[in-house]
Amino acid sequence: MLMSSEIQTFTEKYDLLGCIQCGRCTGGCPVTVRANLNVRQFVNDAYDEDKLEELARLAEIWDCTACHTCAVRCPKGLKPLEVLIGLRTMIVESGKVEPTVRDALQSVLLEGNPWEKSRATRLDWMEDLDVKIADPDEPVENLFFVCCTIAYDPRVRAIARNMVELLNKAGVDYAFLPEDESCCGSEVFTLGEEGLFEMQVEDSTEFLNEYQAGRIVTLSPHCFTTYKTHYPDLKSPVIHYTQLLVELLNNGKLTWKGELPKKIVYHDPCYLGKQGNIYDEPRELLKSIPGVELLEFERRRERSLCCEGGGGKMWVESESKKERLSETRIKDARALGADVVAVACPFCVLTLEDSMKGLGLEEEMRVVEIMELLGELMEK
């Protein structure tokens, strides 16, 4: 028997009675083109508590990427995707999840990251760099939180490494958290492990509040949005690194060497744009590079197409054999004549680059995180 501690309050918790069945959620949902997901139907059917177990067993609840398009579009202010997450919780609490999901969640509990890496190696990305480490007794203006994916995945480590070099060069008052830093829980939340997520919020709030930080600077939009939305008791405000860099740019502290005569198209990550409401800063940074011609996707800003990297999808394979949204995105970029697809999210780098390689476009195109590009142009 599947259990949810919230069965009694499902309708209240997700405000199901507020739904007017207008269908804007499903109408905007990007995964409907490849999966059998109709989120409006779930919002409708979940009202019947006797049906919850049956709904929870439907495979399509795992197709949601938590892109939040449905929540942005809902005229009644509902978060339709959270109904799907609530159903996932029922499955997670029965223990019968995909092995990949199981291992990721267990790794968060035991090692503080979803990538099954040892906590003791969390700071290995700093090797050979001169990094200031935060001390609870010393006030610091910019306290950096490094996302688990950036800390452990060699493909995206440069985001953090370049950041350190840039901060040292620009003389910014900063410090990075020591190795007790733990996962923000973004993917734990969307995978539906409610109990674990509650524990993370409690533990990390306590941990982060020990520091006297002017603000917490996040490198990944997933951490950014999660801290902002789900951590009400954090002492310090939370910003995304692109906000800090635009400040530095405006103060004349960022200068680039040479020119980059490239056509760059910027892909709005769902967690930075739709959820974090940051659209302009990444564009300003890219435009500041001499020689760059900034292109725009037709689907941009609030309407940006999801790369399918969120919602725990890093650990849940889609059954659909139809074209991945990241492939569609790369093809669109190609049609625009872009040389570079720039993003500001480690997950987007991984999904988009994968599709770019899959399409055999490695020679013609590049997928980069903005920090990677800036690292190459920075005067060291």
Partner 1 sequence: MKTFVCIKYVPDTSEAEVKLNPDGLSVDDSRFSFDINDADNYAVEESVLIKEAQGGEVTVLSIGPKKSDVMIRMAMAKGCDKATRVEDDRIATHDPLMVARVLAGGIKGQEFDLVMTGCMANDDWHMATGVALAEELGVNHASMVNKLELQDGKVKVHRELEGGLLEVVELDLPAVLTIQTGINEPRYAPIRGIRQAQKKELNVVSLDDLGIDPAEVGTDASQVVLEKLYIPEVESAAEFIEGEPEEKAEKLASILHKGGLL
Rounded to a whole number of angstroms, the minimum distance from the CB of residue 197 to partner 1 is 9
Q: Which of 65, 142, 200, 220 binds ligand SF4 (CB under 6 A)?
A: 65
Rounded to a whole number of angstroms, the minimum distance from the CB of residue 187 to partner 1 is 14
Assess 55 for contact with ligand SF4 (CB under 6 A). no
Assess 74 for contact with ligand SF4 (CB under 6 A). yes
Q: Which amino acid is present at 119? A: R
For ligand SF4, the closer CB: 253 or 303: 303
205 contact choice in ligand SF4, partner 1, none (CB below 5 to 8 Å, kind-dependent): none
CB-based contact 325:30 (threshold 8 Å): yes
CB-based contact 213:236 (threshold 8 Å): yes
Cα distance between residue 174 and residue 216, in whole Å: 10
Rounded to a whole number of angstroms, the minimum distance from the CB of residue 202 to partner 1 is 11
For ligand SF4, the closer CB: 40 or 122: 40
Q: Which residues bind partner 1 (CB under 8 A)?
A: 5, 92-97, 99, 101-102, 105-107, 109-111, 116-121, 193-196, 199
CB-based contact 30:81 (threshold 8 Å): no
Strands (E) in the chain, as ranges, are: 140-145, 174-176, 213-218, 238-240, 263-266, 293-295, 340-343, 366-369
88 contact choice in ligand SF4, partner 1, none (CB below 5 to 8 Å, kind-dependent): none
Whose CA is closest to 31, among 306, 222, 274?
A: 306
Cα distance between residue 189 and residue 89, in whole Å: 9
Radius of gyration of the chain (CA): 21
With contacts defined by CB under 6 A, name the span among 24-32, 100-108, 201-209, 233-241 that binds ligand SF4: 24-32
Assess 85 for contact with ligand SF4 (CB under 6 A). no
74 contact choice in partner 1, ligand SF4, none (CB below 5 to 8 Å, kind-dependent): ligand SF4
Rounded to a whole number of angstroms, the minimum distance from the CB of residue 229 to ligand SF4 is 14
CB-based contact 211:143 (threshold 8 Å): yes
String of DSSP letters for 251-302? TT---B-S----EEEE---TTTTTTT---HHHHHHHHTSTT-EEE--SS-GG
For partner 1, the closer CB: 93 or 353: 93
24 contact choice in ligand SF4, partner 1, none (CB below 5 to 8 Å, kind-dependent): ligand SF4
Cα distance between residue 115 and residue 103, in whole Å: 8
Residues of this chain that interact with ligand SF4 (CB under 6 A) are 19-25, 28-29, 31, 39-40, 43, 64-70, 73-74, 76, 78, 80-81
